[in-house]
A and B are shown apart, each in its own frame.
Chain A
Amino acid sequence: MSWTGKILRVDLGAGTCTSEPLNMQWANDYMGQRGLATKYLVEETDPKVDPFSPDNKMIFATGPLTGTIAPTSGRWSVVCKGPLTGAIACSNSGGFFGAELKNAGWDMVIFEGKSASPVYLDITNDKAELKDASDLWGKSVWETETELRERRGDPDVRVASIGLAGENGVLYAAVVNDMDRAAGRSGVGAVMGSKHLKAVVVRGTVGVKVKDPMAMMKTSNAAKEILAENAVTGQGLPTHGTQVLMNVINEVGALPTRNGHDVQFDGAHDISAEAMAEVRESDGQANLVSNHACFGCPISCARRSKIDPTHFTVKDKPKYQIVSGGLEYEAAWALGAANGVNDLDALTYANFVCNEQGLDPISLGATIGAAMDLYKVGAISKEDTGGHALEFGNTEAFVAMVEATARGEGFGKEIGQGSRRLCEKYGHPEFSMTVKSQEFPAYDPRGIQGMGLTYATSNRGACHLRSYTVASEVLGIPEKTDPLVTEGKAGLVKAFQDATAAVDSSGTCVFTTFALSGEDIAPMVDAACEGDWSVERFVEVGERIWNMERQYNIAAGFTGADDTLPERMLKDAAKTGPAEGKVNGLSEMLPEYYQLRGWDDSGVPSAETLARLGL
């Protein structure tokens, strides 16, 4: 079977690492990764815990398909209570680290307590020990990963670590693995930093076995064929990456621009996939060097980029004149359109810095956008920003804020608190484009109505990856719906939320769902795992996970009143594009959503719903 049946429990206070059997009942009910790790967190911690307290736990989790031949089997997740939101945090990453952890024989690693001094966890198959990381504290992700690989003398080890942002408690610090893949959102890296855990280095040579290898090959090959033939996963994402969306979403009129003042950006083309491929004059090269795959992925949407060596951000700075993780759509939007900045190389540099020091580019970019809004109305001035004219579109000021936040210096400390806290501090909470204190991603809810409900009800705060209704409302997957109407969106959001929770718990990537449905993914889980995994069971596990996360948040103090959007989305109409004159119609969707979920009028799951899902 594809669960290893073992979890590693690391008590950072006592400095011990112990192996224990996986709770198979929970594995059957919550599958793996997002669902299973959240179940452990729910059972072992108080939802009201201070996220930075030693009593908060942090779990690195793989899924049953992680490390198998299933397409996109490189996924793993970090689960804890999130410091940005105070809600459940579950951040999903790709790269190679997750598959290596599974190959070492572990389904999950549970970190509890707090170390007195910096440490890193060193895993080789069933051997795991905590080692001193005093000399690594203060180093970047790039330095830490390089140093640990050299220290181990093995080029095949995989590393997940935090940079300065995680150490400094930036509320949206990421855990970064394989130099530029990140468990990015909700501040999981800051929780890691609060525990004085700098890094995890792993080498796994045990391998991953599945229940029925022939069925595994057959179902995986079928899925790979569907992915190859699909226009999005077979052509769009391999060729352009997620950046294929920049011009598309701008034309739809749903590209949040200048902190949500506009829904279209006149500089969108300058920061698009097409621009990344254009040859520049200075060195005859393009920003985009190649695409790249995570472990087991036939899509290969990741970008490798190189900044123009004469660009002001990297001139005389050789460490950034390298080929590294390039812009993806969310980063290009948050660092670019949200701030009115259209300088592609400046955005690529900011993205490099996010990878280097472990920052979520979405929350960083969106918070700088909020700061520009504060500057515009005079709520902050050059005195606050260290002399920078923090105006929308000012590339130099934007870059200075990125650097200051990464280093934890000056006004960067304020930006590191996220936009909700920043805007409250300076008297304009309405400027914060957040839900449950987490910054919006790259889809304006006025231009794509379903995304408004998606953000409002997401269990980890505003997020596109909890129910990506863009697939239906813009791309027509699995069927086209009108992005400007609210009718039918409650059901759409619920269906996407449940399916995504299941995919996020399987060990595969949600991007497969542009082409694959539960009908394709459940058979792979069934081939890998004991027990009969029907499509119905797969989706029911997703619904169970969604309700478990909701229950956690309610116990943490959230109510239905938190399922809302900033007034700018509900009262200020879109000024241009297909959505001109529209606001988000959340109030038309939310009651129906609660009803479909089997929740009461205040958004609390009914006793019948909980009983039906075995919660």
Chain B
Amino acid sequence: MHKALVMEADACTGCHQCEMMCSYGKVGAFNISKSVMDITAFDGGALNVPSTCTQCEGAWCMVVCPVQAITVNPATGAKEVSAEVCVGCKVCTIACPFGAINYDPDSGVVTKCDLCGGAPMCVEACPTTALAYMAEDSTGYEKMRRHAVMSAGLPEGTA
């Protein structure tokens, strides 16, 4: 079974460590403008929402690509862009409902999360529990458990 990248806005402090690590993996420099993970801040950072590609099973980006530049990595389930094949037509950026694939004018191709081959660097960098990499069939269970604790009126963190 593949693993999925899970993002929890409640735990995100907006520090951008994930974006720095992501950009390092993508372009070899700490440069959050090149990160494919993005943090959107609300209320001046009181709420921070991390977002990136969730690796759709029937990925719109992959379906619409006219040159088959996007393929599935069987090991991780990630939809990966081949920089050699991509022609920079940007149709995938229009097709993606989440805006998780974007064109990089410096390289002339689109860029998106590839799960770093199965060891996402953003997860390693995150100093809180905002990012996790877990079995794709259990991403909701942690939330359900927290909701159960809350419903039972027990203190946060009760096992």
Which residues from chain A sit less than 8 Å from chain B, CB to CB? 67-69, 71, 96, 99, 103, 156, 178-180, 204-210, 213, 217, 221, 224, 227-228, 289-298, 300, 302, 304, 322-325
Contacts and interface: CB of A to CB of B under 8 A. Distances in A.
Give the interface centre of A204, A206, A290 by most chain B CB atoms within 10 Å.
Answer: A290
Given A69-B21, A292-B14, A296-B17, A322 B29 contact: no
For the complex of A and B, the 3 pairs showing the least CB-CB separation, nearest first, are A207-B31, A298-B127, A207-B29
A562 to B, nearest CB: 39
Contacts of A68: 20, 30
B43 interface: yes
B106 to A, nearest CB: 9
B13 A296 contact: no
A323 B33 CA distance: 26
A516 to B, nearest CB: 14
B43 A103 contact: no
Q: Which secondary structure dominates chain A's binding surface?
A: loop
B3 interface: no
A291 to B, nearest CB: 6
Interface string B39-57: 0000111110000000000
A180 B30 contact: no
A174 B36 CA distance: 35
A304 B15 contact: no
B29 A292 contact: no
| Of listed B23, B30, B46, residue having the most chain A CB within 10 A | B30
Contacts of B45: 292-293, 302, 304
A196 B23 CA distance: 37
A291 B44 CA distance: 11
8 contacts: A69-B20, A205-B33, A207-B33, A289-B43, A290-B46, A292-B14, A293-B14, A294-B15
Given A298-B127, A300-B13, A300-B15, A325 B27 contact: no
A67 B15 CA distance: 11
B24 interface: yes
Nearest to B121: A217
Contacts of B59: none
B34 interface: yes
B125 interface: yes
Nearest to A303: B46
B13 A207 contact: no
A295 B30 contact: no
A365 to B, nearest CB: 23
Contact of A324 (B21, B30, B44): B44
B146 interface: no
A207 B23 contact: yes
Q: What is the interface residue range for chain B against chain A?
A: 20 to 34
Contacts of B44: 178-180, 292, 304, 323-325
Given A71-B17, A292-B14, A296-B16, 5 more contacts: A209-B28, A295-B15, A297-B15, A302-B45, A323-B46
A227 B17 CA distance: 14
Contacts of A180: 44
Contact of A290 (B27, B30, B47, B125): B47
Contacts of A208: 29-31
A210 B28 CA distance: 10
Contacts of A289: 43, 46
A5 to B, nearest CB: 15
Given A292-B46, A323-B46, A325-B44, A103 B33 contact: yes
Contacts of B31: 103, 205-208
A604 B33 CA distance: 48
Contacts of B32: 103
A557 B124 CA distance: 52
B27 A207 contact: yes
Nearest to B27: A207
A224 B33 contact: no
Contact of A224 (B16, B23, B127): B127
Contact of B30 (A67, A179, A292): A67
A213 B29 CA distance: 9
A291 B13 contact: yes
A325 B44 CA distance: 8
Contacts of B21: 69
Nearest to A203: B33
A295 B46 contact: no
B69 to A, nearest CB: 24
Nearest to A69: B20
A207 B14 contact: no
Nearest to A178: B44
Interface string B88-119: 00000000000000000000000000000000
Contacts of A322: 43
A485 B7 CA distance: 51
B125 to A, nearest CB: 7
Contacts of A323: 43-44, 46
A207 B15 contact: no
A529 to B, nearest CB: 14
Contacts of B14: 292-293
